Structure 1
Amino acid sequence: MFAHLSALAGGLLTAGWAASLGCFIGPLVIWMVKKDTMPFVDDQGKEALNFNITVGIVFLALAALSVVTLGIGLIIAIPAWIIIGIAWLVLTIIAGIKANEGVAYRYPFTLRLIK
């Protein structure tokens, strides 16, 4: 549960300006500390980390689109950032609740970078 909710805390504390960094530091620390002793934390820590890395990649890709198009890409990026941000918030809360119940949660549309 803390792996999922630490991403939420990191995102809220950085106010979204460092979405690519703030959101995956918490899950990374929790996963690294507990992965060898607790199999459920290992699984859910990797899941939270993969999801937050995926969201960070998408946010950075949208920022790059905006820069490359000299700001015209903001027409696409701003609504996408809002939609992805709301989805990130909702999915992170759902994952935290499921993990608290002892149910392994799988985020949709996640790149499985860490196996």
Structure 2
Amino acid sequence: MEIINQNITLREDRKLLVIAHLSQYLDFITGFGGLIVPLVLWLTTKDSVTGMDEHGKSIVNFQLSLILYLIIGIPTILLFGLGILLLIFTGILSLILPAINAVRANNGESPSYFGTIRFIS
């Protein structure tokens, strides 16, 4: 039996972390890229970039939470009329938080997404 020593070196790439956070704005352009692009970036570089695992999980959890809020908000417009407030709140969060966390990633800080449900821990 042969044992191969695979030393995986982590590199620090803050620009890639910023790109991962800002790629969430693709939702406004394509309608679906805000989840797929950060997911692909996270899955391909989580073992080679320092902090990508933490940031990637936060981004994917945030995007899944936004999708859930939209799924809940649309029917509640018809039922209660208050769903419009949930949709406005979701829109504001999806505009502000990726930019804030991109700045935090550039400064080397941990991401902090308000109102995120932890689907992936």
TM above 0.5, yes or no, is yes
Q: Out of 65, 81, 103, which is 1:54 matched to? A: 65
Name segments (4+ residues, structure 1) moved above 3 Å.
none
Instruction: Give ranges in structure 2 of 5+ residues lacking alignment.
Output: 1-17
Q: TM-score, normalised by structure 1?
A: 0.79
Larger radius of gyration between Structure 1 and Structure 2: 2
Cα separation, 1, equivalents of 2:46 and 2:83 = 36
1:40-70: CA deviation from partner (whole Å, max 9, x where unpaired) = 111101111111111111111112334xxxx
**Given the superposition, is the C-alpha separation of residues 35 and 111 from structure 1 closer, same or farther in structure 2, using an over 3 Å criterion?**
same
Percent identity (aligned): 31
**Given the superposition, is the C-alpha separation of residues 79 and 65 from structure 1 closer, same or farther in structure 2, using an over 3 Å criterion?**
closer
Instruction: Give ranges in structure 1 of 5+ residues lacking alignment.
Output: none
Does the 8 Å CA contact 1:2/1:30 hold for their aligned counterparts? no
Cα separation, 2, equivalents of 1:22 and 1:30 = 12
Aligned residue pair count: 104
Structure 1 position 24, deviation (Å) = 1.2
